[in-house]
């Protein structure tokens, strides 16, 4: 299956310079695995990951806090140019974060500050598989400790690794296990159209 994997990380701050290369490697790994990268259509680490995935030939979808392209560029001053599609949510940053997470099959945390922590906790409360790139600084390097201190839910859904490619592979395996009961083959689709689902309408 093609999964949508969100890359969450700092838009600015120390971890952007520290982990730019790792973010690019995550984007490349997502593209090479044939998955779709989703981000907050923002700058910083998500930008580097999305741009690298796009250059690698992968599909990139951005979720903007803005209501339109004009607002995205002029009000929020966010990038364009390497997304296959931008969803202009109009939900500002907090609402955008929740929408982004719920639209993704998994979330990878790289570096980050409080906004990244918000996306991680939203994903965890939502029961979404989370990958944490250890050694990337900021939020990513304190999550494991916070999970213990705050008695976090769904600990089994959080995967840790310090290698970008290995982390994407672990997430793919976890998603394959989660969705193993779903048959996406052409045969199953034809069964739905012809027998199981009746005639398609509209």
156-202 pLDDT tens trace? 999 999 999 999 999 999 999 999 888 666 556 666 666 655 554 44
pLDDT (average), residues 100-113 = 97
Does the domain at residues 4-196 carry the CATH identifier 3.90.1720.10?
A: no
The whole-angstrom separation of Cα 202 and Cα 190 is 17
Would you kindly state where each structural domain of the chain is located, as residue ranges?
Answer: 4-196
Q: Give the Å distances, CA to CA, from 94 to 10, 98, 118.
A: 15, 7, 8
Could you give the 3-state DSSP secondary structure of residue 45? Answer: helix
Could you give the 3-state DSSP secondary structure of residue 159? Answer: strand
DSSP state of 118: H
Token reading at 180: 């193993």
In this predicted model, what pLDDT tens digit does every residue of 26-71 receive, in sequence order?
A: 999 999 999 999 999 999 999 999 999 999 999 999 999 999 999 9
The whole-angstrom separation of Cα 97 and Cα 102 is 9
- Please list the alpha-helical segments (H only) found in the chain: 14-32, 45-55, 69-74, 92-102, 114-125, 143-149, 164-178, 186-191
- Strand runs labelled E in 65-170: 85-88, 106-110, 129-133, 158-161
In degrees, rounded to 5, the angle at the alpha carbon of residue 110 between the alpha carbons of residues 105 and 112 is 115
pTM: 0.90
Q: Give the Å distances, CA to CA, from 168 to 27, 28, 67, 131.
A: 9, 10, 31, 8
- Residue whose pair of structure tokens reads 């929740």 in the numeric block: 98
Q: Half-sphere exposure (CA, 13 Å, Cβ side) for 31?
A: 20
**Residue 110 in contact with residue 8, Cβ under 8 Å?**
yes
Given this model, what pLDDT does residue 181 score? 85
């Amino acid at each position: 299956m093609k999964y949508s994997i969100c890359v969450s990380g700092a838009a600015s701050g120390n971890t952007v310079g520290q982990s730019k290369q790792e973010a690019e490697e995550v984007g490349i790994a997502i593209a090479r695995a044939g998955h779709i990268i989703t981000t907050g259509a923002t700058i910083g680490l998500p930008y580097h990951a999305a741009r690298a995935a796009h250059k690698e030939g992968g599909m990139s979808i951005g979720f903007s806090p803005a209501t339109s392209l004009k607002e995205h560029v002029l009000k929020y001053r966010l990038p364009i140019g390497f997304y296959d599609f931008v969803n202009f949510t109009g939900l500002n940053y907090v609402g955008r974060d929740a929408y982004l997470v719920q639209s993704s099959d998994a979330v990878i945390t790289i570096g980050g500050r409080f906004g990244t922590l918000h996306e991680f906790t939203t994903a965890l409360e939502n029961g979404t598989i989370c990958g944490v790139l250890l050694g990337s600084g900021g939020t990513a390097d304190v999550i494991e400790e916070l999970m213990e201190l705050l008695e976090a839910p769904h600990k089994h859904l959080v995967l840790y690794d310090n290698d970008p490619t290995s982390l994407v592979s672990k997430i793919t395996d976890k998603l394959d296990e989660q969705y193993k009961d779903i048959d996406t083959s052409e045969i199953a689709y034809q069964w739905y159209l012809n027998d199981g689902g009746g005639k398609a309408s509209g």
